[in-house]
Structure 1
Amino acid sequence: MSAFAKTAALSANSGTTDSGVNSIDPTGFVKLGGQLPKLATILAQAVDKLGLTLTEAQQRALLLYLDQLLLWNKAYNLTAITHPEEALIKHVIDCLAIIPHLPSGSLLDIGTGAGLPAVIIAICQPERSCTALDSNQKKIRFIRQISSELGLSNVQPIASRIEAHDASYDVVTSRAFASLIDFVEVAQPRLAPSGRLCAMKGKAPTDEERQSLAETWQINTIKLNVPGLNESRHLIEMFGKND
C-alpha cells in the first residue's frame, strides 16, 4: 500500500468519510504532495455536506484542477491564495456550494478568471455546456490547458470582453462583479428567453440594488453554507418578470 493510501485509510478509520478518498491516485499531482490525503478528505466531506453526488473520478479531477491552479499560478497570475487548504475551500468548495441551486441549461461564466465557477461546474455536471469567458488571454490559456488535461469536452474557453460576445445562454453566472447592477447590465443581453442570471456574492443585495432592479427583475437570494468557510456567501438568482 502506498503512503498516500495508508494515510487516507487511517483518516477513514478514524471516522472521516471515505467517499472516494482512499482510492484517489496521487499520480500527476505536483503541488499538493503530502497534503493530498487531508485535502481529499476535506473535499469528500464538503461534497457530502452539500448533498452532491460526485464520483471518485470527479473528486480527483477537482483536486487536479486545484493542483494545476497552484502550479501555474505564478506564470498566469491566477489567484492570490497560495495555501492549498485555503484555496480548496475558498475556490473549489465555494463554487461547489452553488451547484445544487443552479438552473439547468447552457451556462456562460463572465469574468471567469481561472475558471471559477465554470470549470468546477463542468467537472461536476458533464452534461452541461459551459462557456468560460474572460478578456485575460493567460487565464483563458490556463483553462484551455486544464480542460484538455482533465478531458472536459463541455468547456469552451473564450478570450473576449462580454460586450464583444454575442451568443445566448440559459444561465449566466459570475463571481467577479462587485456591483449586482453592473452584472445585470452586461449579462442580460446574453440571456436566452426564460433564462436565469446567477451571481455569486458575499453579501445579500443592498436596498439600493433591489430598488434599482425591482421593476424588471424577480430577485431570489439564496444563503449558502460553504463547508469550512466562516464567511457570508449568497447566490443571487434573477429572472425577468415578463418571462
Structure 2
Amino acid sequence: MNAGPLPPSVAPRLASGLEALGIDPAARDPLLAYLALLARWNRTYNLTAVRDPLEMVDRHLLDSLAMQPFAAPLVATGGRLADLGTGPGLPGIPLAIACPGLRVTLVESNGKKARFLREAVRQLGLEHVDVAETRIEALDRPGGFAAITARALATIPLILQLGGHLLEPAGRLLAMKGVYPQEELDALPAGWRTVESHRLQVPGLDAERHLVVVARDGTG
C-alpha cells in the first residue's frame, strides 16, 4: 500500500514545528512519508481517530517529538526503547526518525496496527526498529530495555504493572501525560519512585503536556 499525497499546508506546518522543537530539519521528509502512509492506511483500517493530516502533525508527530530530548541519549549508550501499546507507531516511529540510530521496539497486540507498523518500518527503512505483536505483559524480554514509554495508554501504575519487567535494573519509564498526574504518582507500586518531571511545549497544541520519569528505588 503506497502513501498518497498530503495537503500542501502539511509540510510547512511540520517544518515550523520541528524548528520550534529544535529537531534537525532532515527529519521532515521521512516524517512526511510516515504521515502520508498513516493517513492512507487510516482511511481503510481506522488506525487513529484523528483523520485530518494537519491535525495529525500537531497531535501525533509534534506531540510525540516533544519527548525527543529524553529519548536521544539512548543512542549514545546503545540502550533500547520499548514503546508500549504504540498503536500506529506513536511516539516510537517519530522518535526513531528524529534520533537516527535509536533502537526501538514497537509493542502492539492489535493485528491490523501491527501490520501497518511492519509496513511503515519497511517503507521508511528503519533498520533499528522492530515490531513485537503481543500484549505488553506477554513480551518475554525481561530487563531488555533501558527505557519504556507509553502515550495515552494507561495510568502510570498500570504501565509499570504490565511492562515494568521489561526494564533493566537502572531503566526508566518515560511516561507521556497531559496534566501533571499527581494521583497516579501517589499510587506508584512499591519499589518505584518519581525521578523527575518536565512540562512539555508542543507547537500547535494549546494543552498541558508532561513527561514524567519513573525508576526503581535505589537507582541513580
| Pairing 1:210–2:185 present | yes
Q: Is the 8 A contact 1:97 1:224 kept in 2?
A: yes
Structure 2 residues not aligned, in runs of 5+ = none
**RMSD of aligned alpha carbons:** 1.6
The superposition leaves residues 184-213 of structure 1 with CA deviations (integer Å, 9 ceiling, x where unpaired) of: 21121100121110111112112x322222
Indicate whether 1:120 and 2:91 are aligned: no
- Residues 1:181 and 2:157 are matched in the alignment: yes
Q: Deviations over 1:169-196 (max 9, x none)?
A: 0010011323111112112110012111
Larger radius of gyration: 1
Q: Which amino acid aligns with 1:182?
A: L
* Rounded Cα–Cα distance in structure 2 between residues aligned with 1:82 and 1:47: 21
Q: What is the CA-CA distance between 1:214 and the residue it aligns to?
A: 7.7
CA deviation map 1:100-126 (0-9, x unaligned):
123512100110000001111111122
Name the % identity: 39
TM-superposition CA deviations, 1:30-84 (whole Å, max 9, x none): 141xx23x221111111111112241xx211101111111100133221111111
Shift of 1:141: 0.5
User: How far apart in 2 are the matches of 1:199 and 1:210?
Assistant: 11
Q: CA deviation at 1:217?
A: 2.7
Give the TM-score taking structure 2 as reference length: 0.90
Aligned-partner SS, 1:213: coil
Distance in 2, Cα, partners of 1:101 & 1:54: 19
Per-residue deviation, residues 156-181 of structure 1 (Å, max 9, x unmatched): 01110112112120010011323111
Q: CA deviation at 1:29?
A: 5.3
Aligned residue for 1:197?
A: 173
User: How many residue pairs end up in the alignment?
Assistant: 210
Paired amino acid for 1:96: L
The corresponding residue for 1:93 is 62
The answer for the alignment partner of 1:152 in structure 2 is: 126
Q: How is 1:39-78 mapped onto 2 (pairs within 5 angstroms)?
A: 39-55=10-26, 58-78=27-47
Whole-Å separation in 1 of the counterparts to 2:33 and 2:179: 30
Structure of higher RCO (CA pairs closer than 8 Å, 6+ residues apart) = 2
Q: Deviations over 1:114-151 (max 9, x none)?
A: 00011111111221110001100110100110111111
CA shift at 1:242, angstroms?
1.1
If the length of structure 1 is used for normalisation, what is the TM-score?
0.82
Distance in 2 (CA, whole Å) between partners of 1:148 and 1:204 is 36
SS of the residue corresponding to residue 72 of structure 1 reads helix
1:221 aligns with 2:197: yes
Letter matched to residue 152 of structure 1: L
Secondary structure at 2:187's aligned position in 1?
A: helix
SS in 2 for 1:171: strand
For the residue of structure 1 that corresponds to 2:154, the secondary structure is coil
Q: Is the 8 A contact 1:89 1:229 kept in 2?
A: yes
